[in-house]
Chain A
Amino acid sequence: ETGVTQTPRHLVMGMTNKKSLKCEQHLGHNAMYWYKQSAKKPLELMFVYSLEERVENNSVPSRFSPECPNSSHLFLHLHTLQPEDSALYLCASRWTSGSRGEQFFGPGTRLTVL
């Protein structure tokens, strides 16, 4: 595997389900991000982890719970979601030391909440 991978690529869940999204980066980076991309809305930054510590939580509802067990893996745990949470969830990573800020993105997980 190369770059940033995300699983699953598609997920359909009911409002009472609990599921998790997984992101893995194979680039040796030390910062990881979750974004939400909804139709007709700008890309929304949800969470930032740097050196495995959460450094940003962009007023995201508690039904979204991130986890970063190590610098290569990032999870987004989902529970009791709402239909308006249906979106493309993108993971990204970057190297912070000497970085010019560019982030590398995974292909995303298309989430549908019924």
Chain B
Amino acid sequence: AQSVTQLGSHVSVSEGALVLLRCNYSSSVPPYLFWYVQYPNQGLQLLLKYTSAATLVKGINGFEAEFKKSETSFHLTKPSAHMSDAAEYFCAVSSFGNEKLTFGTGTRLTIIP
């Protein structure tokens, strides 16, 4: 079985500050890991993914995430927050041959002007 835990259902950061959204996973097989972003009244958009290549993954909109096997973590970061980053962010896990994605409960990011 696979699972994802996102610490902090709400995170607020000031514009220009570092964004850090936490994700820990559990998987008995090598995982594939994903971050999705959801803007209000929209579907989920893929930000970035880890699929067993480089452990530091760069995504769209200046976001990146680092896969740390020893810590079972895949935290999402962005050096400088922008107002347009305000959204809900979901971490998800899957694996080779797995039809399904298992999602975390999401983190709502608020940017303070």
Tell me the A residues contacting B by CB distance below 8 Å: 4, 6, 31, 42-43, 45, 48, 50, 55-56, 88, 90, 92, 96, 100-108, 110
Contact = CB atoms under 8 A, between A and B. Distances in A.
A104 B43 CA distance: 9
Contacts of A104: 46
B98 A101 contact: yes
25 contacts: A4-B43, A6-B43, A31-B99, A42-B103, A43-B90, A45-B100, A48-B100, A50-B99, A55-B99, A56-B99, A92-B44, A96-B99, A100-B96, A101-B51, A101-B98, A102-B34, A102-B46, A102-B49, A104-B46, A105-B43, A105-B44, A105-B45, A106-B43, A108-B42, A108-B43
B2 to A, nearest CB: 11
A101 B34 contact: yes
A43 B100 CA distance: 12
Nearest to A3: B43
Nearest to A31: B99
A45 B45 CA distance: 17
B32 to A, nearest CB: 5
Interface of B: 32, 34, 36, 41-46, 49, 51, 90, 94-96, 98-101, 103-106
Nearest to B90: A43
Contacts of B96: 100-101
Nearest to B94: A101
Contacts of A56: 99-100
Contacts of A6: 43
A101 B95 contact: yes
A43 B42 CA distance: 14
Contacts of B43: 4, 6, 90, 92, 105-108
Contacts of A45: 100
Nearest to B44: A105
B101 A101 contact: yes
